[in-house]
Structure 1
């Protein structure tokens, strides 16, 4: 019952919700033909025992060739209309159990123009199927008008009423067929079929015996060319099922909904729009889910230990500006990139020749901190190494270490935070580089001396003054 309901829904959908638009996607017209064999089922039949006794080879009930052609229009994926023509030879013999017609055998010709209704059986049962198919099974039933002629022999001799030449007779035919189609391409199909012709006459074989009308079975192979009214068509509509397409569409919507609602990397951008679906946890991203790189140095901010490098500056794998001579001045600003280690330099990396009047121009790198933190991070290790080299190269040098904060928070809180930052830097230099603690004095400026009114991260710092 569920299949019938879905089938009905699919047909209704085609009619009500844009049948033309759906069919425009596929080829609905086809033309084709093929050849095959006819099998006579009348008072005289094909391939009967004892047929070798008849000397007329073409009237011995053997193999006979026939051909067919058709043009078909599918109204929807389930139903189509077909105009066809089948023509060929038929022959038969009485066999060994044929009552009072022994010795009769015949050869005849038959032509059947027909109009058929075609039913695509596979689409009626592809409920839930979403995989593309290359197979189709088409059933057909219709109405035909047969014209035929025959030559009847008795023991190899023409019957007395035999008239040479064509003497066409007429009969009504009901064709019932079944055709298997295999998609070779979007335009071509291979066909294999069987069709029965049921006549309203018992004279197709030239013999009237009993009360049963004659039938002819036609088996065939052939090819079909599929086409449509618009260019760029896909395959024939017989290989598509609107029910399957509905399932596929629903599944696609479900997948898209999952992409819209799921965020596997937790960056706040749904999978469907996430250009970097494996962003590290905690990374700040843009609207497309790509990790931000504010300074454009190629190192995402969540990995960048110096996220405000000057534009175009060369950085290491952690985003820190390169400082080839280790004087604390990055190469991008260093006018003397080969200063000897331990040299005291100014802000442009130029060596200060003597400790004296030029001492106030000396450059000592600053140390930066995270929000509400006094932890000396690894990003500051190289900066403090520069400070340690300066102190070791100048044993009489003493430094005032001043802690600063940004503008958030109260005065007293920031005073204490600035002091903790200054103490943490001194402790780092003492523990890691062995500098005598007596060479330092510390104080806190709190939030009273900001370097920038907008860049809060620059204000969270510790700076050094030579005493």
Structure 2
């Protein structure tokens, strides 16, 4: 009985797990994905540096200034706080006529917390020119004392002795470029341990103090195209100010239509169209035959001079065109094709004959007119520094796929663009990735053949709106009907990355 019950429970559990796995596997690619929150702290660089300066001990014997130097590594935790690991080596000298002379060899390693004081004050400056900071730290040190001249019996040499220390200080750095800054700093440390008062070789007080004042050469390391400067150089309000500026600079949506052609001025490329003139979606007068003369000024609006070759020189009028169209539509056969002269009643798919692309009637197979298609092809936009398709643009890509499926002979050029917030090289690569991901979406989600999609990219060139910074309108992928000469552009060259060793 117990064995039967156990088997039943195990079978039920296995069934539940299989159903859960099947549900997870069959989730649609079109389900909305949660959008990640934008980080308040961008990716930023590390700092490494060299330092050298004057070191001396405040102790029982009068000091003579010595010299010290070392290296450090600094990393910002946020806009105010940063951690720094530092190594210091110094030579200290003490001499007077009462005790004698000593020379101390000093070595220390310290972990310090730095507080950027001027980043506590917010203003409109994007990058700080100076960085004023306070220092508090602790670490381990070791030193030995050599007696070079003994006068007092209290003066004794000391072999290397290790103890802990703690210290405070102040510093100020001056930004020279996004890669380099120059700093000055002073700090003092007290020692803990049985030899804390033997820095000069004499033990008479509660403890000696080491003072170190230095000049620092600081270098920022990291990819400047993808990472900001260390955050203590960045205004914490910069991201907010940039977003507010973009919102303030957005054009006001104005529905005014000066020339009354049905296209608002914001989109109208010709605000002086004469009354009653037919226009396209851009507000330009229609030019049906493409001869450069608008229909309202063209005596033969539906036939260019090329189409009149070999005729009596009389182009068909609008009434003639309407009569021909009605005649052909009356001959529409049951197969969805339009019979034309010379085909014995067989449909050609083109009401006007010839081999030019045209839109066929329902039930037929053919290609939509290229000029007409370009009017209605949407644009998809991207978040800053991203090549991921936004869920808001899934519908636009679905409409493109639907049109391509209805017109199997149609090829589409997919052109990627960026705004101007990075270098030309980086933007060229990003525009390529945006076009590539739009193509992947059409292929993987909607089943469009890859050969029907032509990958092109143009970096930050040809912006939709004039802007030298971040712009959603310029971060885009456009689509247009391809011609016979359109081909995939090769991927942009990328820098070879060094192989990491583990």
TM-score by length of 1: 0.46
TM-score by length of 2: 0.44
**Which structure's CA Rg is the greater one?**
1
